[in-house]
Amino acid sequence: MMDEQGQRRNFRAARGHKLLPTNDRIRPNGISHRVLKTGGPCLIEDVSKATEELNPAMLEEGSRAAMCLPLSFTGGRLGVVWIHYSAPRTFSNDDVNALDAYLQQASIAYDSSREMGGLGRLLRAT
């Protein structure tokens, strides 16, 4: 997740039940930043045929396909979510649309929670 200034926040990377090191996961000119900026998904159906530079950390973990989708809400974008697959695959529009709808709902819930927290602080201050 990113804050309003574009800085990394609440960042976690996991594979199965194992948390992964995060120091090399977000690159300044990488796919995550592009998806965050444009709001459009990035689909990598086969890493061996990828036409853009992939993060070496993704390759080291054995990912063979992946998608990166934005976490967006009405006021902006919160960050991105990566979903990795252990084998190449073709992503259908239904795959992307279903995950996008789920992520939009998660973003709305997160943003509402943030707003309610701010409202609570405001009420306590008065």
**Average pLDDT of the residues in 48-52:** 87
Contact 55, 68 (CB under 8 A): no
Per-residue pLDDT, 2: 52
The DSSP H or E segment spanning 18 is strand 18-19
Q: What is the pTM of this model?
A: 0.72
What pLDDT does residue 57 have? 77
CA distance 25 to 35: 14
The residue ranges of every structural domain in the chain are 14-125
Query: Higher pLDDT residue, 32 or 88?
Result: 88
Q: Quick check: 10 pLDDT over 80?
A: no
Assigned superfamily of 14-125 = GAF domain (3.30.450.40)
pLDDT of residue 15: 55
